[in-house]
Amino acid sequence: MEDSLTRPSSPAGLSCYMALSQLLGLTVIAMTGAWMGQYRGGIAWESSLQFNVHPLCMVIGMVFLQGDALLVYRVFRNETKRSAKILHGVLHAFALVIALVGVIAVFDYHRKKGFADMYSLHSWCGITAFSLYFIQWLMGFSFFLFPGASFSLRSRYKPQHVFFGVSLFVLSIATCLLGIKELLLFNIQATYSSFVPEGILANALGLLLIVFGLVLGYILTRDEWKRPPLAEELALSMDFKTLTKGESPSSSSQ
């Protein structure tokens, strides 16, 4: 009872924007699945439909789950910092695994069909985003979850980690937009300008991806919506700063 009174409630407006972000994210996934199912024949691994695994997995992994991982520190405001870190890392790990399935699917499909790899801007941006995302996860695990990193080292690396995390999310959405355009030109170039239903659906999907990114960006950049440190975290931080100055926590508090 007493503990619940000391823990701050969710800031005004945050819950609404969080709900909006999840609605947009799930809608983007549903629209991608509908596009692949309704207009591209469906999804299967051992057939010519293997390519369709790629866009669905990349949207789920590199957009939706990556975005949700970025929001962990806004949603779980009253959980311990370590719990939030673990969930943040696990969501990113799931995103990586699902995205890896998508990457394998497209390379395997190209190999079976005899198509060239890595020649388009979409493929260059995509492999860059995926590779940097994997490196970002490794760096984050090493600095923030692995017990070997010092507090001062984590503090110095944190701004870079946050910057590259948001940048990779933006790059992922941009890569999806390039992929949408590329897929449309490959499949319906002759009829695209006639406002065919597939083109309209894909264009709407692209717009929703942008809106999803903007909503997440708004949530992440609101200072008053950042996760406040819990009392015990503040105490640990003060003790560390005191010890690094050559004093004991007890003497500094007297």
Q: Which two tokens stand for residue 224?
A: 């008053």
Cα separation, 227 vs 26, in Å, equals: 24
Tell me the whole-structure pTM to 2 decimals: 0.88
pLDDT in tens, 127-177: 999 999 999 999 999 999 887 778 888 889 999 999 999 999 999 999 999
The secondary structure of 75-122 as a DSSP string is H--SS-HHHHHHHHHHHHHHHHHHHHHHHHHHHHHHHHHT---S-SHH
**Is the pLDDT assigned to residue 56 strictly greater than 90?**
yes
Backbone Cα Rg of the chain: 22
Q: Token match 């984050």: residue?
A: 140
Cβ contact 205:35 at 8 Å = yes
In this structure, the chain runs to a length of 254
Token representation of residue 17: 């924007």
- Going by the DSSP 8-state scheme, the letter that residue 126 receives in this structure is H
Tokens of 113: 């069909």
| Per-residue model confidence as pLDDT tens digits over 28-47 | 999 999 999 999 999 999 89
- Is 213 or 234 the better-scoring residue by pLDDT? 213
* pLDDT value of residue 146: 82
Give the containing element (helix H, strand E) for 57.
helix 53-58
pLDDT at 145: 87
One-letter amino acid of 148: G
Looking up tokens 């590329």, which residue turns up? 182
Residue 197: exposure state from Cβ atoms within 10 A (0-12, 13-18, ≥19): exposed
The one-letter amino acid code at 96 reads L
CB-based contact 60:210 (threshold 8 Å) = no
Helix/strand/coil (H, E, C) string of 184-239? HHHHHCCCHHHCCHHHHHHHHHHHHHHHHHHHHHHHHHCHHHCCCCCHHHHHHHHH
